[in-house]
């Protein structure tokens, strides 16, 4: 059981991925407008939804999750934290989103998706790390359908996929507007990227950086802010 920002508890079902840096930095990176309606693509047991509900008490989050065990875990987390009026989980394939929701129904989409197009599958959760059921094209097609014109799609990914992310976003009329490079230490290579894409936007990219630890391994001020330490 994890306590998120002193507000909500996150229970991770057996086989679920633990609370990760990916989710924490993505939730911090997300910008929510007034009373934002958020769609979480590949929402797992509701980690991002809980973090965003903790961040903004006026937002509403809908999760789409294919794995039934993770979906059931999300329902448990929603009910235990008394968030049934602000969060919901739908057990479905995100590739079927056009049959599930009306176009432009959300102001924001978020995703902590599979990172790898090949390689060995996870033994515990075979679909969680590889793109077999959630390619970048699937992801952006679904986000572009769900988000309104001028709405934003926030995702965390690996730096080596940046060019592919930008090309795929453009294919669905989404423009990269913010890019944050995440390093564990200042001298380390970039390990994660955070990207904000806007539907129908003009070109114009703002670069940011995030360093999580000092040279001696102690948490930076930004790390402490993200983790509410």
Question: Tens digit of pLDDT for each residue in 145-160?
Answer: 999 999 999 999 999 9
**What's the rounded Cα separation, in Å, for the pair 157 and 31?**
17
What pLDDT does 116 receive? 65
Whether residue 125 is predicted with pLDDT greater than 60 in this model: the reply is no
CA-CA-CA-CA torsion for 142, 23, 221, 81, nearest 10 degrees? 110
What pLDDT does 128 receive? 47
Antiparallel, parallel or unpaired: β 37-41 and 8-10: unpaired
User: In degrees rounded to 5, what are phi and psi of residue 149?
Assistant: -60, 130
Antiparallel, parallel or unpaired: β 37-41 and 106-111: parallel
pLDDT, the chain, mean: 92
pTM exceeds cut of 0.75: yes
What pLDDT does 104 receive? 98
Question: Tens digit of pLDDT for each residue in 91-115?
Answer: 999 999 999 999 999 999 999 998 7
Q: Which helix or strand (DSSP H or E) is residue 71 part of?
A: helix 68-80
Mention every residue, 6+ apart, whose C-beta is less than 8 A from residue 57. none
Give the residue from 63, 26, 21, 20 showing the smallest Cα distance to 45.
Answer: 63
Question: Tens digit of pLDDT for each residue in 13-27?
Answer: 877 777 899 999 999
Q: What is the DSSP letter of 125?
A: -
The distance of Cα 135 from the centroid of its chain, to the nearest Å, equals 15
For residues 117-136, average pLDDT: 58
């Amino acid at each position: 059981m994890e306590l998120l920002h002193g507000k909500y508890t996150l229970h991770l079902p057996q086989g679920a991925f633990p609370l990760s840096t990916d989710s924490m930095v993505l939730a911090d990176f997300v910008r929510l407008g007034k009373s934002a309606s958020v769609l979480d693509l590949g929402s797992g047991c509701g980690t991002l939804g809980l973090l965003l509900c903790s961040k903004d008490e006026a937002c509403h989050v809908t999760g789409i999750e294919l794995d039934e065990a993770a979906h059931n875990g999300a329902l448990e987390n929603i009910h235990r934290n008394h968030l049934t009026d602000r969060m919901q989980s739908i057990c479905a394939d995100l590739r079927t989103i056009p049959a599930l929701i009306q176009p432009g129904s959300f102001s924001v989409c978020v995703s902590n998706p599979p990172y790898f197009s090949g390689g060995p599958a996870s033994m515990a959760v075979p679909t969680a790390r590889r793109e077999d059921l959630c390619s970048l094209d699937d992801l952006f097609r679904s986000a572009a359908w769900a988000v309104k014109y001028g709405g934003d799609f926030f995702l965390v990914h690996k730096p080596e996929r940046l060019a592919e992310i930008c090309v795929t976003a453009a294919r669905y009329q989404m423009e990269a507007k913010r890019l944050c490079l995440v390093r564990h230490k200042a001298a380390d290579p970039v390990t994660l990227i955070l990207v904000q894409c806007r539907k129908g936007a003009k070109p114009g990219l703002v670069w940011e950086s995030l360093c999580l630890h000092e040279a001696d391994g102690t948490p930076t001020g930004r790390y402490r802010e993200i983790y509410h330490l």
